[in-house]
């Protein structure tokens, strides 16, 4: 038994519900027909080598918690020569992502329908060109802050995975989580915040994709965009 399988050492869940309603028939069918072709190898079974998954890919990106898959699919369509790895434990979101993949005819996406931290642990050092974390669960109450995805060990793991010059983007619409994440990332050796002026975190970057979740404006602030580079 690995340490991640031992309940005493397993990381706290950083996400809420796994499924909210019955999958739509089309999405349920895609789990049977498309999912086997785009699923990542089981990270608990051994190391995952992105080069083996997509030998011709010029870059490898990881999106942690892709929600309904709109952003992941749009970026994959924009960058067909990039391997897009997406992790999402919410099965309804995975079903939605499968629909986007099918409709876009995307061949450069691989999905993991579970905790992203398992995938991160299975990836080799300096294997990623970009990591994206958009609107993670904020866990508002102070006693629940320990469940937030962004912690010191998590930030250090991102540094391990990013190539020199690789990029990290964190986006949230909760002020407290933005402050929390900025503090954690700025004190992590190997990460440098790229902002030079207020608009750098207040204005969406040119390559940002607005999703339906973002349009709902569920947070207490306009989206805050924190971009970092691996130095």
DSSP 155-191: HHHHHHHEEEEEEEEEEES-HHHHHHHHHHHHTSTTE
Residue-range definition of the domain harbouring residue 81: 59-230
Answer yes or no: is 212 a known binding residue. Answer: yes
Within 34-133, residue ranges assigned H as helices are 35-38, 50-53, 70-78, 91-104, 116-122
Q: Does the residue 50 lie in any domain? A: no
- Let me know if residue 138 belongs to a domain: yes
In-domain check, residue 47: no
pLDDT band at 12 (very low <50, low <70, confident <90, very high): low
Instruction: Identify the weakest region by mean pLDDT among 62-66, 137-141, 175-179, 219-223.
Output: 137-141
Q: Does the annotation place 115 within a ligand binding site?
A: yes
pLDDT of residue 20: 58
Q: Is residue 165 part of a domain?
A: yes
pLDDT band for position 8 (50/70/90)? very low
**Interior angle at CA 153, CA 147 and CA 155, nearest 5:** 95
Q: What is the CATH number of the domain that holds 98?
A: 3.40.50.150
213 is in an annotated binding site: yes
Q: How does the average pLDDT of the chain come out, rounded?
A: 91
Share of the chain above pLDDT 70, in %: 90
What local confidence, expressed as pLDDT, does residue 172 receive?
97
Rounded-to-integer distance, Cα 207 and Cα 134, Å: 13
Would residue 36 count as lying in a domain? Answer: no
pLDDT digits (tens, 9 = 90+) for 88-143: 999 999 999 999 999 999 999 999 999 999 999 999 999 999 999 999 999 877 77
What pLDDT was estimated at residue 4?
45
Does some domain include residue 6? no
Q: What does the pLDDT read at residue 95?
A: 95
Token readout for 46 is: 């051994």
Helices 70-78 + 91-104 axis angle, to 10: 30
172 assigned binding-site residue: no
pLDDT tens digits along 150-209: 999 999 999 999 999 999 999 999 999 999 999 999 999 999 999 999 999 999 999 999
Q: Which two tokens stand for residue 126?
A: 């300096």
Q: What is the pLDDT of residue 7?
A: 42
The total number of structural domains that make up the chain? 1
**Is there a domain that residue 49 lies in?**
no
User: Which residues participate in catalysis according to the annotation?
Assistant: 137
Residue 229 has pLDDT above 80, yes or no: yes
Please check whether residue 195 lies inside any domain of the structure.
Answer: yes
The Cα–Cα gap between 154 and 161 comes to: 11
Per-residue confidence (pLDDT) for residue 121, from 0 to 100: 98
What was the pLDDT predicted at 9? 46
């Amino acid at each position: 038994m690995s340490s991640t399988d031992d309940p005493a050492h397993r990381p706290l869940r950083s996400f809420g519900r796994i499924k909210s309603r019955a999958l739509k028939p089309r999405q349920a069918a895609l789990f049977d027909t498309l999912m086997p072709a785009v699923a990542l190898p089981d990270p608990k079974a051994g190391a995952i080598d992105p080069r083996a998954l997509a030998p011709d890919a010029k870059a490898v990106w990881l999106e942690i918690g892709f929600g309904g898959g709109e952003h992941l699919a749009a970026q994959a369509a924009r960058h067909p020569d990039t391997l897009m790895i997406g992790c999402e434990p919410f099965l309804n979101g995975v079903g939605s992502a499968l629909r986007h993949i099918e409709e876009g005819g995307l061949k450069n996406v691989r999905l993991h329908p579970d905790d992203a931290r398992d995938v991160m642990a299975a990836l080799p050092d300096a294997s990623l060109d970009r990591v994206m974390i958009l609107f993670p669960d904020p866990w508002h109450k102070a006693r629940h802050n320990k469940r937030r995805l962004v912690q010191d060990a998590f930030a250090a793991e991102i540094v391990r995975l990013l190539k020199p010059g690789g990029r990290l983007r964190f986006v949230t619409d909760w002020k407290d989580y933005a402050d929390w994440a900025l503090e954690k990332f700025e004190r992590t050796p190997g990460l440098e915040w790229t902002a030079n002026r207020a608009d750098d975190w207040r204005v969406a970057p040119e390559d940002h994709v607005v999703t339906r979740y973002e349009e709902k404006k569920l947070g207490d602030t306009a989206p805050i965009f924190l971009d970092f580079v691996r130095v």
